[in-house]
Structure formats: C-alpha cells, structure tokens
Amino acid sequence: MFERLNTPEEAYNYKLGAALTMERTVLQILEANLKEAQDEQVGALFRHHHAETEGHVRNLEEAFALLGWDVDDSPCPAIDGLQAEGKATAKKTDDVLVDSVLLQGAVEVEHHEIGVYENLIINARAMGRDDVAGVLQRNLDDETHTLDEVKTAQKRVAAVAPKEPAHSGVAGKIKNALS
C-alpha cells in the first residue's frame, strides 16, 4: 500500500482497492440482510444482488489485471460506517419494520457504490483506459438498476407497514427494555 499518492496511477490504484473492499463488505451486508429480511421478495432482491456483487468483485479484479497491477485492497471506512449503521438500526427494529430499515440501508449503500464507480469511470477515461471504464460500467449499470429495484420495494413495503407500534402495552415495554 502507498504511503502517499503522488501520481494519477497511484491514486487510481488506491481508489480501485477501496472499491474492492467496498464490494467485499457489501457481500457481508447482503448476507446479514438475507438473515434479517422477513418479506420473500425483499429476500429475493438481496439474494439476486449478492450474486451480482460476486461479479462486481471479479470485474474489479479484471480492472486491476487490465492495468497490469496486482489485486490489492485499500481501506474503505465509508462502507464500514454504512455497515455499522445498518447493523445497529436493524438490531433495534421490530421484525414487522425491519424490511423497511434494511431497504433504506440498501439505498444508502447503492448511492455510495454509484459514486465510487462514477469516479472510477471518469478517471479511467482520463487515463485513456476505455477498456477499464467499460468493465466498471457493467458494475455501475447493475448498481443503478438495483437502486431502482430497492426504491420500488421500499415503497411497496412502506405501503403495508403497520401504523401502530408493533409492541405497545406492557409486553412491548418489556421487549423494548430487553432489546
């Protein structure tokens, strides 16, 4: 890993490595979401995007190879933060509302991923590497499509969400105190 980033190539290598860390962490997030999801369609959406995300990791490895670099990851504290926030919120959310919370987390993650790929594609083109941009565009297309799907699912889940607290009364107070 570089101490300092002094050339466009070094900066690009570092950011490509951060994208790799991001995608590997997204795999963990989706695996956790799959365990928590209550609605079958929400679960199916996370399962489908997990398979796509495995492809995103491979595409990033291909980008490293095209540039003639060893695959090397870099820190991505942004995705660590999104993972921590999503995990903490899901933990304190009742099962009847958890799909909504998981989908909201997914929108935030997708926006981050879209920003990462937009930057990587702009800078690949700036280095004259349309081949690398083309590989990363595949990931960006998947993320953009997934964001649309997640937003659609969120509207559907919100429409059927209970209007009353799921655990009101004494039993609910006990559950809330224990959680």
Q: Which residues bind Fe ion (CB under 5 A)?
A: 53, 56, 113
Nearer to Fe ion, 36 or 110 (CB): 110
Nearer to Fe ion, 112 or 129 (CB): 112
Taking residue 88's Cβ as centre, other Cβ atoms within 10 Å add up to 10
- Residue with tokens 């959680």, as numbered in its chain: 179
Contact 64, 132 (CB under 8 A): no
> Which DSSP state fits 5?
-
If DSSP codes are grouped into helix, strand and coil, which group holds residue 135?
Answer: helix
Sequence-ordered list of residues with C-beta below 8 angstroms from that of 31, at least 6 positions apart, any chain: 50
> Can you tell me the distance from the alpha carbon of 96 to that of 135, in angstroms, rounded to the nearest whole number?
39
User: Closest separation between CB of residue 23 and Fe ion, Å?
Assistant: 5
User: Closest separation between CB of residue 62 and Fe ion, Å?
Assistant: 14
Query: Which residue in the shown chain puts its C-beta closest to Fe ion?
Result: 56
User: Closest separation between CB of residue 98 and Fe ion, Å?
Assistant: 22
User: Closest separation between CB of residue 145 and Fe ion, Å?
Assistant: 11
Nearer to Fe ion, 81 or 165 (CB): 81
Nearer to Fe ion, 56 or 129 (CB): 56
